[in-house]
Amino acid sequence: MEITTQQRNELINRALEARRFAYAPYSGYTVGAALLSISGEIYHGVNIENAAYPTSMCAERTAVFKAVSNGELAFSAIAIATENGGSPCGACRQVLSEFGLETLVLVVDNQGEVTLETTVGNLLPEAFSPSDLTRG
- pLDDT tens profile 95-132: 999 999 999 999 999 999 999 999 999 999 999 998 89
What are the CA-CA distances from residue 77 to residues 83, 116, 118, 127 (Å)?
Answer: 20, 13, 10, 18
pLDDT digits (tens, 9 = 90+) for 25-71: 999 999 999 999 999 999 999 999 999 999 999 999 999 999 999 99
Dihedral sign for Cα 88, 107, 130, 46, please. Answer: positive
Per-residue pLDDT of 60-81, as tens digits, reads 999 999 999 999 999 999 999 9
Instruction: Indicate the number of domains in the chain.
Output: 1
How far, CA to CA in Å, does 92 sit from each of 9, 43, 57, 111? 22, 15, 10, 23
**Is 60 designated active site?**
yes
CA pair distance 129, 26, nearest whole angstrom: 33
Range of the domain at 125: 5-132
**CATH code at position 94:** 3.40.140.10
Q: Cα separation of 8 and 82, whole Å? A: 16
pTM listed for this prediction: 0.95
Phi, psi of 52 (to 5 degrees): -90, 90
Active-site pick, 60, 113, 117, 126: 60
